[in-house]
Amino acid sequence: MTDPHSRPQSPIRRIALITNPVAGLGSSMDAARRATEFLANRGIDVVSIASYLPLTTSLRTREFVADPTIDAIVVCGGDGLINLALQEVVGTGKLFGVIPAGTGNDLAREYSIPFDPRAAASLIVDGHHDSVDVGLMSHANGEERYFATIMCAGVDSMINDRANQIRWPKGNSRYLLALGIEFARLRPLRTTIRIDGKGTHHVPTILNAIAITKTYGGGIMMCPHANPRDGLLSISLVETLNRLEAISKVPKVFLHRLEEVPEVHMYRAHSVDIEVSGLDAFADGERLMPMPLHIECVPRALNLIMAR
């Protein structure tokens, strides 16, 4: 049976390659070079930009999206750079590819995009793509922001913030180190949440994750039931624990053992309204917006290049 959302596969002849020179602790430029060589050897024209400045990156991405000679926007960096480019690409139909070169790389992990630059570039050559869901965060001030992986607000976002400051170790290990550091500051968070517009609940929590994909923090399985093609958000909330309980239970959350923690509650929904007192929202590994927020799933809004 044919997937009604699948798109005809077409050859890719020219791409825009967008790189953050500091992503992956500086490894992104080497990854971009290796990917560019691979693509050029296979006859693909690569237009490259590398910028430290988010505004420059956003403006150039917007130009590339509008350029009919560019077949795909390809990001070489981490989830933060992906999020920046996402704001210009979502809903346009323009193909979007990823050369993973960050420290978390959770979007690449979800869609089986190889971490090796040449292997990831081979997916660009192949040109297979599918439309996938994204999340949309909206604030009462009119600000909106798309995300591709997980939005979090709680000790998880505090850990994310701390991990972004850690230069070594990389990947999942730096999040475990950040977890240990943040334990000393663990406290209940006043959380107000409404799921699909049905009732408002005021609950003390320590972790709050609203997801399109399954993992954050370099592979931490926070929302195991997330499916980026079903038009739904996956929600994981962790009730308040005292410090002794947290020492034994929170590490299980971060080690893919959520079923062993009865304080974890998981839901599926089209939309969520949430406020966590005193915290901003993180998504795709970056601090993005103040709260409260309305969050919804935008079905099949990103045309993503991925493995067959």
The pLDDT tens digits for 46-98 are 999 999 899 999 999 999 999 999 999 999 998 889 999 999 999 999 999 99
- Amino acid at residue number 225: H
In this structure, what token pair is assigned to residue 293?
A: 């927020």
pLDDT at 184: 72
In this structure, what token pair is assigned to residue 260?
A: 């062993």
Using one digit for the tens of pLDDT, what is the confidence trace for 147-161? 999 999 988 788 777
User: Confidence class of residue 252 from pLDDT cuts 50, 70 and 90?
Assistant: confident
pLDDT at 26: 66
Give the integer Cα–Cα distance in Å for 130 and 132: 6
Taking the CA atoms of residue 123, residue 129, residue 133 and residue 136 in that order, the dihedral angle to the nearest 10 degrees is 70
pLDDT at 173: 75
Using alpha carbons, select from 120, 128, 53 the residue that is nearest to residue 95. 128
- What are the DSSP calls for 194-237, one per residue? EETTEEEEEEEEEEEEEESSSEETTTEES-TT--TTSS-EEEEE
Q: What is the mean pLDDT of residues 210-222?
A: 91
Low-confidence winner among 75-79, 217-221, 289-293 (lowest mean pLDDT): 217-221
Give the integer Cα–Cα distance in Å for 218 and 104: 4
Residues present in the chain in total: 308
**Angle between helical axes of 243-253 and 171-183 (0-180°, round to 10):** 170
pLDDT at 24: 61
Q: What is the mean pLDDT of residues 33-54?
A: 95
pLDDT at 8: 47
Q: What is the mean pLDDT of residues 210-217?
A: 94
Q: Structurally, what CATH architecture does the domain formed by 137-300 represent? A: Sandwich (2.60)
User: Confidence class of residue 225 from pLDDT cuts 50, 70 and 90?
Assistant: very high
Using one digit for the tens of pLDDT, what is the confidence trace for 160-208? 778 777 777 766 677 778 877 877 777 889 999 999 999 899 999 988 9
Is residue 2 over pLDDT 90? Answer: no
Q: Structurally, what CATH architecture does the domain formed by 14-127 represent? A: 3-Layer(aba) Sandwich (3.40)
Angle at 301 between CA 297 and CA 307, to 5 degrees: 110
Is residue 1 over pLDDT 50? Answer: no
Is residue 303 over pLDDT 70? Answer: yes
Q: What is the mean pLDDT of residues 254-258?
A: 72
pLDDT at 170: 66
Which helix H or strand E contains 175, and what residues bound it? helix 171-183
Q: What is the mean pLDDT of residues 254-266?
A: 80
pLDDT at 160: 72
More confident residue, 63 or 255: 63
Give the integer Cα–Cα distance in Å for 33 and 45: 14
pLDDT at 10: 55
Residues of the chain with CATH 3.40.50.10330: 14-127
Distance of CA 62 to the CA centre of its chain: 20
Distance of CA 29 to the CA centre of its chain: 21
Give the integer Cα–Cα distance in Å for 67 and 222: 38
Using one digit for the tens of pLDDT, what is the confidence trace for 93-148? 999 999 999 888 999 999 999 999 999 999 999 989 999 999 999 999 999 999 99
CB 88 within 8 A of CB 81: no
pLDDT at 218: 84
pLDDT at 308: 86
Residues of the chain with CATH 2.60.200.40: 137-300
* Contacting residues for 114 by C-beta, under 8 A, at least 6 apart: 100, 108, 120, 122, 123, 307
3 state DSSP class of 56: helix
Give the integer Cα–Cα distance in Å for 130 and 139: 29
Give the integer Cα–Cα distance in Å for 236 and 258: 10
